[in-house]
Amino acid sequence: MRHLWSSIVGSWGTKMKFSLPVYLWFLAMLASMAFLTKDKLGLYLVPPFLATLSIFHFLPDSAIAQPYAVIVGSVAGAAIGTFMTIFGYGPLFAALGAALAFVVIHALHAYHPPGVALALYPALLHTHPMFPVRVVLPFAILAVGSAAFFSRLSSKWPKYPMPLREKPFAPPSTMN
pLDDT number for residue 47: 84
Q: What is the pLDDT of residues 86-95, one digit of tens each?
A: 999 999 999 9
The predicted model gives 40-66 an average pLDDT of 83
The string of DSSP letters for 36-103 reads H-STTHHHHHHHHHHHHHHHHHHSTTSGGGSHHHHHHHHHHHHHHHHHHTTT--SHHHHHHHHHHHHH
| Cα–Cα distance measured from residue 42 to residue 44, given in angstroms and rounded to the nearest whole number | 5
Domain assignment of residue 9, yes or no: no
Domain assignment of residue 10, yes or no: no
| Cα–Cα distance measured from residue 30 to residue 26, given in angstroms and rounded to the nearest whole number | 6
Domain assignment of residue 22, yes or no: no
| Cα–Cα distance measured from residue 74 to residue 115, given in angstroms and rounded to the nearest whole number | 4
Tell which wins on pLDDT, 86 or 156: 86
Domain assignment of residue 33, yes or no: no
The pTM is what?
Answer: 0.82
As for how many domains the chain has, the answer is 1
Range scoring the smallest mean pLDDT among 46-60, 80-94, 131-145: 46-60
Residue span of the structural domain in which 131 resides = 39-153
